[in-house]
Amino acid sequence: MEKKQTIGKAFRKRLVKKREEMIGRLTDNMKKLRSGEIRRTIAAGQEYGDCAVVNQAEYLSCAQFYVNIEGIRKIDLALKRLDDGSYGLCEECGKKIGSKRLKCMPSAAFCRDCQETKEQWPARRI
């Protein structure tokens, strides 16, 4: 039991650290968007017709914002699973998620096989 608690503490520490890093990136990104820094940096010295470059850079910045929010959501769910004792179990099949997978992706909710099936499912419908 003590070993399981130690492992849980280590994963919690990694998850919290990753969450803090993502929040930092979100904060920086939001500051840049609100201040217009991206627009000013790219648009400096550009022709009027190059506005597409500025718009694309802002779009990519917003896309990164979404990715970070989704990552934080997954981390929060993993922290809940740690609290309720279901961390490390696949949400689909209930089997243990491999330790290598959890080390690589501590917020993983599915074992490798179930994740692969989930990712391939839309392709099968076509």
pLDDT in tens, 58-86: 788 888 888 999 999 999 999 999 999 99
pLDDT in tens, 2-31: 556 666 888 999 999 999 999 998 898 888
Write down the pLDDT at residue 101: 94
Q: In 42-111, which ranges are E strands?
A: none
| Conformation bin of residue 94: beta by default, left when phi > 0, alpha when psi is -120 to 50 | left
Tokens of 108: 């993983």
The answer to whether residue 50 scores a pLDDT higher than 70 is: no
Global pTM? 0.76
The answer to whether residue 43 scores a pLDDT higher than 60 is: no
